[in-house]
A and B are shown apart, each in its own frame.
Chain A
Amino acid sequence: METDAIPQPAEEEAQQIDSADLVVGILTELGSDAISRMCGSLQALPGPARIAILQHDTRNGPAATSPDAPSIFFVPSLLTNPDGPGAGPLGMAETYKSVFAAGEKLQSRGCCIVASKHESSGAHWASELARPLLEQNVDLVVPRYAQHRFDGLLNSGIIAPLIRSLYGRRLHNPMGPDFGVSRRLFQKLLGTERSGKSGANGFHPLASLAPAALCDNLSVAEVHFGARVYPSPDWTNASSILAEALGPVFVDMERNASCWQRTRVSSSVPAIGQASRVLNDSGAVDINRLVESFQLGNRALQEIWALVLPPYTLLELKKLSRRSVEQFRMPDVLWVRIVYDFALAHRLRTINRDHLLKSMTPLYLGWVASYARDVQADESMTPDQRFERLALAFEAEKPYLVSRWRWPDRFNP
């Protein structure tokens, strides 16, 4: 979003508050208590920081300057409304961009975005995201949430290991949705979009932040947070979530192809804070339903998968679909190759992109079934151990991706 696009009243408001050291965008619903505590924790940041808070729902917070915290200003009008009613972080691309634009307008040193709900208070999250930006000159601060076994599987099963194998840094939540972003990084993103280099669709902040920082060798850190509250799954739109989340990631992958093809091994990023434990992690998943979805997909979507996947993978999937629910287990290598093949088909536009990503849903549910069987069968295995094994498979299969990316026709039947 260009700063020129900010409406007139916002311009006037921004004129009154001519500068800020930090811009904090609150894209989730927080109660007035939580806001007050957040202001308190932000006050404790080092130096005489002027902080602008951008929030839609000002009923919960002070309307203008906080009386308790004179250096904190509320500037709700600089925030763009979410793209649709009830849009989650994925549907808030323009809102994220408006936070960056406000950061640029107010010449802030960085922006923090709090977009998720949390199990505990979570009022300190903004200051924890801001601290590395202001104290250690970190360019991108990403969260590391305490995770239940079946939380954020799309992130843990595809996005995080994919980003790790592509860009060589072990980020656990590369798509946030909570972020701390330095001035250098948000200016780079806004500049890229204005120059038109980000392509016809522009950039999606959630998908582009981590790759942009990693490709430019900017400093990145993770902050340990408590557990996030995830929205309940809706079985009727799991495919839409998949398409919405993976689309921008694959677009970014295409944009940064020259960068990630050079990366060979991965390394960890500095972690700040203490990892917190998740309590009450006893939920069980209905594996039958997941396997049935996979088997139905395998029966009905063969003609589409045949356009995307090589014969060997199709054969393996056929074998897998014949197994009983008790014996169902999708090997990591197979899953990794499927993800890579879909990324390539997305780049080549083998079929309509929306169809492509949505047709991946049964495969994803097959992997979820396999994962659920693994962690339910072996109580001693933590999700982190399981995801580490998967991430290593992503790294080991990267040469497969690179060769298919460079010579896509070589593997065609």
Chain B
Amino acid sequence: MWQQIKEALVLSTAKFLTKLASLLPGLAALIVALFLSLIVGWILAAIVRRILIGLRFDERMSQWGFASFAESAPMKSPTRLVSRSIVFIVVLAGFLIGVAAFDSAWTSLFVRSVLAYIPNIIGATLVLFVGRLIARFVARSVLIGAVNLNLQYARLLSEGVRWLVVVLAVAMALEHLRIAPEIVELAFGILFGGIVFCMALAVGLGSKDLVTKSLERDVKKSAGQELEDPLRHL
């Protein structure tokens, strides 16, 4: 009995070791692929960075009106953003090649499904990135406009608008990634509606005085009571 258990254990250990040994070349290949892709990515990024610096890419981006793009980039430099993205893409490609080197059915399947999913990831990333840019731009426009209109709740309004755009962008990105689309739809509806409702309440209650003042001013103006403001700007 004991002998049989021993034999079974030895057999399973041998099987495990054989399997492990068969994985080792693939693992080594994965490490080599990662290492090589890191080097290639770094070289490519350095070349691209040098070219973009030569082309004064950062300056041109600002001149073309993408100031908010520069703000969201690491160290406020779009050149760095581009070069780091290149490193990331090359390392990701190296990783997938390394995984494929395991040469077994499930790794190829895994790589194939990951590759098929990449366009969704890129799409979602783009949606998030553009959403962030738009959110910042719109929030700033609203903030400055509201401050110049003397609205005390300018910041609240601007934050509300920022979150509206961000929620919209996140919902679109999740939709793109096909992650629980029904829940996302429902959650988006609730969140979006909630934010709009909160803002409507806050702005409505906050502008009570403003509307009163505005109406009073109109009444005074029509009755010719209001003193004319002597300020002339230009």
Within 8 A of A (CB), among B197-211: none
- Cβ contact within 8 Å between B232 and A300: no
Instruction: Answer whether A348 and B144 are a contact pair too, CB < 8 Å, given A153-B232, A283-B230, A285-B231.
Output: no
> Which residues of chain B come closer than 8 Å to A361, judged between CB atoms?
144, 147-148
Judged by a CB distance under 8 angstroms, whether B154 is at the interface is yes
Minimal beta-carbon separation of A257 from chain B (angstroms): 15
Taking a contact as CB atoms closer than 8 A, the residue among B62, B141, B144, B150 that contacts A292 in the complex is B150
Binary contact readout B141-165 vs A (1 if CB under 8 angstroms, 0 otherwise): 1011111111010110010000000
A352 adjacent to chain B (CB < 8 Å)? yes
B229 CB-CB contact with A under 8 Å: yes
Kindly identify which residue among A149, A153, A154, A349 contacts B62, using a CB–CB cutoff of 8 Å: A349
The interface residues of chain A lying within 8 Å CB-to-CB of B150 are 235, 289, 292-293, 296
Closest to B141 in A: A355
Q: Which residues of B contact A301 (CB under 8 A)?
A: 143-144, 147
Contact with B along A227-244 (1 / 0, CB 8 A): 000111101101101100
Nearest opposing residue in chain A for B137, CB measure: A352
Q: List the A side residues contacting B67 at CB < 8 Å.
A: 349-352
Partner of B154, one of A153, A233, A283, A300: A300
Q: B residues within 8 A CB of A154?
A: 233-234
A359 interface hit (Cβ, 8 Å): yes
Among B65, B141, B154, B231, contact of A368 (Cβ-Cβ < 8 Å): B231
Q: Kindly list chain A residues whose C-beta atoms are within 8 Å of the C-beta of B149.
A: 235-236
| Bound CA span A148–B152, Å | 32
Contact between chains at B144 and A239 (CB < 8 Å): yes
Residues of A within 8 A of B232 (CB): 148, 150-153, 230-233
List which A271-319 residues lie within 8 A (CB) of chain B. Answer: 283-286, 289, 292-293, 296-297, 299-301, 304
For window 142-188 of A, CB contacts with B under 8 Å fall at 148-155, 175
Chain A residues with CB under 8 A of B152: 296
User: B68: CB under 8 A from chain A?
Assistant: yes
Which chain B residue lies CB-closest to A296? Answer: B147
Contact of B234 among A155, A285, A350, A362 (CB under 8 A): A155
**A351 touching B68 in the complex, CB below 8 Å, given contacts A150-B230, A153-B232, A239-B144:** yes
Say whether, besides A238-B148, A348-B62, A362-B147, A153 and B155 are in contact (CB < 8 Å): no
Q: Are A296 and B230 in contact (CB under 8 A)?
A: no
Query: Which of the four size classes fits the interface of chain B?
Result: 20 to 34
Q: Is B84 an interface residue (CB 8 A)?
A: no
Question: From DSSP, what is the main secondary structure of chain A's interface residues?
Answer: helix
Contact yes or no, B234 A304, CB < 8 A: no
A-B contact count (CB 8 A): 102
* Residues A148 and B234 in contact in the complex (CB < 8 Å), given A239-B144, A296-B152: no
Q: Is the CB of B155 within 8 A of A233?
A: no
Complex-state Cα separation, A95 to B155, whole angstroms: 40
Chain A 121-155 interface mask (CB, 8 Å, partner B; 1/0): 00000000000000000000000000011111111
Is A90 close to B, CB under 8 A? Answer: yes
Q: Is B144 in contact with A355, judged by CB distance below 8 angstroms?
A: yes
Q: With the chains together, A304 CA to B140 CA distance in Å? A: 8
**A 106-125 contacts with B by CB, 8 A:** none
- Scan residues 18-47 of chain B and give those whose CB is less than 8 A from a CB of chain A: none
Residues in A with CB closer than 8 Å to B146 are 300
Q: Tell me if A344 is interfacial: C-beta within 8 Å of chain B.
A: no
| Residue B185 is within 8 A (CB to CB) of chain A in the complex | no
Is A255 interfacial (CB-CB < 8 Å)? no
Q: Tell me whether B182 is interfacial, beta carbon within 8 Å.
A: no
A interface, size bucket? 35 or more
Asked if B7 is an interface residue, CB under 8 A from chain A, the answer is no
* CB within 8 Å of B: which A55-105 residues: 88, 90
Contact with B along A330-360 (1 / 0, CB 8 A): 0000000000000000001111100100110
Give Cα distance in the complex from A62 to B65, angstroms: 48
B140 — which chain A residues lie within 8 A by C-beta?
Answer: 304, 351-352, 355
* B103 interface hit (Cβ, 8 Å): no
Interface presence of B63 (CB below 8 A): yes
A148 B62 Cβ-Cβ under 8 A? no
Report the separation of the CA atoms of residues A296 and B153 in the bound assembly, to the nearest whole angstrom: 10
At the interface, yes or no: B218 with Cβ under 8 Å from chain A?
no
A-side contacts of B141, CB under 8 Å: 355
Within 8 Å by CB of B228, from A90, A151, A232, lies: A232
Cβ of A245 < 8 Å from any Cβ of B?
A: yes
Centre residue among B62, B68, B145, B231 by max chain A CB count within 10 A? B231
Which residue on chain B has the smallest CB distance to residue A237? Answer: B148
Report if B216 contacts A (CB, 8 A): no
Residues of B within 8 A of A231 (CB): 232
Interface centre among A150, A153, A241, A355, by most chain B C-beta atoms within 10 angstroms, is: A355
> A296, B154: Cβ atoms under 8 Å?
yes
A296-B147, A352-B140, A355-B141 known; A241 vs B229 contact (CB < 8 Å): no
CB of A351 within 8 A of CB of B71, answer yes
Complex: chain B residue closest to A292, CB-CB: B150
Q: Give B153 Cβ to nearest chain A Cβ, in Å.
A: 10
The reply to whether B147 and A152 form a contact with Cβ atoms under 8 Å apart is no
Other-chain contact of B148, A233, A239, A292, A348 (Cβ < 8 Å): A239
Q: A349-B67, A351-B68, A355-B140 are in contact. Are A284 and B230 (CB under 8 A)?
A: yes
Is B233 in contact with A286, judged by CB distance below 8 angstroms?
A: no
**CA of A292 to CA of B143, assembled, Å:** 16
Contacts A150-B232, A232-B229, A286-B229 known; 10 new A-B pairs at CB < 8 A: A233-B229, A238-B148, A239-B145, A283-B230, A299-B155, A301-B147, A350-B67, A355-B141, A361-B144, A361-B147
**Can you show 10 pairs from A to B with CB atoms below 8 A apart?**
A232-B229, A241-B233, A285-B229, A293-B148, A299-B155, A300-B143, A304-B144, A358-B148, A359-B144, A361-B144
5 nearest interchain CB pairs? A283-B230, A230-B232, A349-B62, A239-B148, A154-B234
